[in-house]
Chains A and B, each alone.
Chain A
Amino acid sequence: MAQDYVAFKKHDPKKDPNLNPFINLKINPDSNMMINPAYNWNINPLHSSSVNPSQNVNINPINNGEVNPQVNEILNPIYMKSLLPANPTWNGLYIFTDSNDIFGYVSVATQNVMISFDNNGTWNGYFVKANSSMYNYFTVLGIWTGMFLCYDNSVGYNLFDKNGKWTGMHIK
């Protein structure tokens, strides 16, 4: 269990209220419009073509192999075992639900790509950096899901659905 590791304590929103968006309203998109893509279109792929992979080929792994784990093996956790959360030396981020329970894991592969895993440690997709404060979420095969992450301006990221609505999930 990841919760058993000492390293996890630094990421745990149940232990540190600063990491909990339902206590620290500065990192809660429903309270801070600057980090909410519904009110800040600079971080909304539906309104900014520069951060939309359908309109900007540079941030689309189908067109840019450098950010595609299927093309670039150093991003692929099947080849790079150090990216797997099951690896004893793994160090990464945690995806939390709106109840602050662990939903999955994130491995930072490069500055532009983060690999996503479910609660069982199974690879289920990856995030590609679109600008300084957001990442788009792709399936393992490189299809954009429409979902995206926005930086919370402080300690982590919040996950939004394809309509730009916060899912309640957050990454620390």
Chain B
Amino acid sequence: MVSGRECILNNPRGLTNLIVLYTTHYLISICPTRNLLLKINLYFDINTFGNLPLITNSTYCQPQKNLMKKILFSIILLFAIGKISNAQVLDYKHDPKFDNNLSPNSNATINPDKNSNINPKFNWNINPSHNNDVNPIFNSTINPLNHYELNPDLNKTLNPMYHNEYHPKNPAWKGLYIFNKNDEVMGYISVATQQLMLCFDSSSEWTGFFVKAGNGIYNFFDVKGEWTGKFLCFDSVLGYNFFDKDANWTGQHIK
């Protein structure tokens, strides 16, 4: 018996990120002479610091004695380890290590080094250094220093420190994830409005926010609303790539 999640694990790339923390066996009584023995591994995901129990094997066997103590111990251990995992356990729908379509390393269409349409070095429509319409220094309508509705430092309704539903430490939080070039989580993003996204580092510390500058581009500002020169460009399919002030791709991407 193999679960759907285990099929994903059988991907060699996925397996490199998981460490077996604990293995246990569960015995399910089918009839007086026949039991089903399930082997369950508790994996630790080194990317998300989360863990997940998975059924990895099953066999039929004869009934055994003194198994209840072992099962009870296993359940307690699984729950105890589960308690220490982060609130922001990475949703596999956002994980480029589980879905190669989400990884710029595997999917050339969303990689700015391989697709010039999404690279501001080659497409100046999405380059603030070459297009004043998307540059907050020249276009005041996209500069939060001039706009209350774009500035969480001025507008408490947009500030994650006052409206905690935007904060990744909130257990009910839903949002996007920032990955580095190795597809490891290095931050979180909360979509506050259609024009504004809030940015957090891997420790869930609020680091700044993105303001929409046009179709497919967001400029990055610090928490006080000063433009850093950095910006996001839409990857033309499902996420964003992060560029520095010289329009070089940082390797970071958002899903």
Which positions in A face B, CB cutoff 8 Å? Answer: 33-34, 39-42, 44, 47-48
Contacts and interface: CB of A to CB of B under 8 A. Distances in A.
Contacts of B21: none
B169 A41 contact: no
B164 A34 contact: yes
B162 interface: yes
Interchain residue pairs A-B with the least CB separation, the first 5? A41-B161, A33-B169, A41-B162, A42-B162, A40-B164
Contacts of B204: 39
A165 to B, nearest CB: 15
A39 to B, nearest CB: 6
A47 B161 contact: yes
Nearest to B173: A33
A39 B169 CA distance: 8
B170 interface: yes
A44 B159 CA distance: 14
Contacts of A41: 159, 161-162
A34 B162 contact: no
Given A34-B164, A39-B204, A41-B161, 18 more contacts: A33-B164, A33-B167, A33-B169, A33-B170, A34-B170, A39-B161, A39-B164, A39-B167, A39-B169, A40-B161, A40-B162, A40-B164, A41-B159, A41-B162, A42-B162, A44-B161, A47-B161, A48-B162
Interface of A is mostly: loop
Nearest to B206: A39
Contacts of B169: 33, 39
Contacts of B159: 41
7 contacts: A33-B167, A39-B161, A39-B204, A40-B161, A40-B162, A40-B164, A44-B161
B56 to A, nearest CB: 31
Interface in B155-190: 159, 161-162, 164, 167, 169-170
A42 B164 CA distance: 10
Nearest to B159: A41
A150 B159 CA distance: 20
B255 to A, nearest CB: 24
A34 B169 CA distance: 9
A34 B164 CA distance: 7
A44 B161 CA distance: 10
A34 B166 CA distance: 12
Contacts of A42: 162
Nearest to B161: A41
Nearest to B168: A33
A47 B204 CA distance: 18
A33 B167 CA distance: 9
